[in-house]
Chain A
Amino acid sequence: MFKASIRKTTSLLVAAGMALGLSVGMAQAEYPEKPITMVIPLGPGGSHDLNARVITSVIPSYINQAMIVRLTPGAGGQKGTQEVAKAPADGYTLLFSHNYIDMLQQHVEKLPYDPMKDFIPIARINFAPIAVVVRGDSPYNTFEELIAAAKAKPGGVSMAHSGNWGALFVPAAQMMKSRGVQFNLVPYKGGGPAMQALLSGDADVTMGFPATIGSLLQSGKLKVLTTSGPERLYDGVPTFTEAGVEGDVGFMHRVVLVRSGTPADVVKKLQDAFTALQGDKTYKNLLKRLGENADLMLGDEYQKLRDEQSVSYKALVEAITK
């Protein structure tokens, strides 16, 4: 009796195996024939997670497959990045990262992968500039006053940032290097707590994305001293360039990457899908509601930016970590 049922089971399994084999045989169809995984090397609920949810809720209608988000936080983004570096180069595993994890970390730490050799960018999804802010009742009214105060008393001005070599730390480091000053850098667990520290008076200065600080600015709780990039974002507020802070440091570029060696037609398909998103009303609408722009930049163009980032970040890291 027991034997008979084993035989029955085996034949069932064989049948199932054949069915599987059959479907694989037929599956020489074109990419993508199964859901695509998008690895985020950061934790849940952050801005990357939210941006990714917008992408994955719209993109299936352009690639005819689901896109699944896989959050793999750990070791400052290295864990998720390494996972994609180890995955097969078939375009089914994407990495949704940002420029500091992508290009800066290699100069700070020994990584188990080589970001330049192991990855190629598909597209930059969007970017966010950053603004240096102080409390509304702060004694510093301009960036120069802040620098003068920091020069007068090295370490006397405390700057709240969101973690070492993160989106607020790098611009701060570049400021310290370019202007030859010393801030007292106090880490916080993310931009929100850093902003709270500024408002409660624990810190003298911090930074924030314009998309998130609008309400605090309007109510006069904050003053903007300078913003990143070459173009002015606020009337009468100088840019990093004008303030003598050079390099591509004040921007958070959210970028989708794949393993290098991914077939060209697969890359093309993905790029087409992301380009198509640009014309999608829902997508643009959703991003706008999150307070993000939809300034897409395709892989080749972003690769140039990547090359520049690598060089300037290397110079920055070497200059200050002595």
Chain B
Amino acid sequence: MRKTIRRAAPEVLTIATLLVTSVLALVFINYLVEPPKLLFGRSLTAIEPSLFPLIVLALLAGLCAILMWMMRTAGAETADSVEDLSGEEWRRGMAFFAIMICYALTMAPFGFLIASAIAMIAMSLLMGTRSILQIICVSVIGPMLLYLAATRLLAVALPELNAIEVFYARLLGE
């Protein structure tokens, strides 16, 4: 019995969180949704901007409440589904997200090449690569090729430092 409750936890927690946030959003809807703008003294739009959010939030809160109630009575339907993560897996998962967060935060200030190289070197090490040559090839040449393909062939921009952009331009003899 104790075991089932513990294992159903992620599901119950998610539903509870959704229930609480949707009820809170319903209560504070007037602060979260601006009033409609006016045109010639009438509302600019035919329906209130808060109409759809109200319907959806009410349905969400109601559905979550029903689900919570059903799970209390019927027990945990997914008791056997969640496999436990080992400590090692937890650590690797954390490392993966740490790398991704760093990547996301560094791409604008450091530019695409440097941010990608750092993140990809870290990922390669996490995946157990020990060959320096392979790491360099993948994490430096890879982003360079993608950057050039994106900017020169597809003509869309990726963030890049001025110096590196000038370097590319020289490299291609532009």
Q: Which residues of A contact B (CB under 8 A)?
A: 2, 5-6, 8-9, 12, 19-21, 23-24, 27, 33-35, 37, 56, 64-66, 68-71, 108, 164, 173, 176, 182, 185, 187, 320-322
Contacts and interface: CB of A to CB of B under 8 A. Distances in A.
B171 to A, nearest CB: 9
A20 B113 CA distance: 13
B162 A164 contact: no
Given A27-B166, A65-B169, A70 B156 contact: yes
Nearest to A177: B40
Question: 10 tightest CB-CB pairs across the interface, nearest first?
Answer: A5-B132, A70-B157, A34-B165, A24-B163, A34-B169, A27-B166, A23-B167, A68-B155, A37-B157, A34-B166
B40 A320 contact: yes
A87 B151 CA distance: 18
Contacts of A35: 151, 165, 169, 174
Contacts of B174: 35, 64-66
Nearest to A27: B166
Given A5-B132, A69-B155, A33 B41 contact: no
Nearest to B135: A9
B44 interface: yes
Nearest to B155: A68
Nearest to A6: B132
Contacts of B132: 5-6, 8-9
19 contacts: A6-B132, A9-B136, A20-B164, A24-B166, A27-B163, A27-B170, A33-B166, A35-B151, A35-B174, A68-B155, A69-B156, A70-B157, A173-B39, A176-B40, A182-B40, A321-B38, A322-B38, A322-B40, A322-B41
A66 B174 CA distance: 8
Interface string B135-171: 0100000000000000110011100001111111110
A182 to B, nearest CB: 7
Contacts of B72: none
B2 interface: no
A12 B121 CA distance: 15
Interface in B26-61: 37-41, 44-45
A9 B40 CA distance: 69
Interface of B: 37-41, 44-45, 130, 132, 136, 151-152, 155-157, 162-170, 174
Nearest to B121: A9
Contact of B157 (A64, A65, A68, A182): A68
Given A23-B170, A65-B174, A71-B156, 8 more contacts: A24-B167, A34-B162, A68-B157, A69-B155, A69-B156, A320-B40, A321-B37, A321-B38
Nearest to B37: A321
B117 to A, nearest CB: 9
Contacts of B155: 56, 66, 68-69
Given A23-B163, A173-B39, A321-B39, A33 B169 contact: yes
Nearest to B131: A5
B152 A23 contact: no
B157 A66 contact: no
B152 A66 contact: yes
Nearest to A321: B38
A200 to B, nearest CB: 19
Contacts of A33: 166, 169
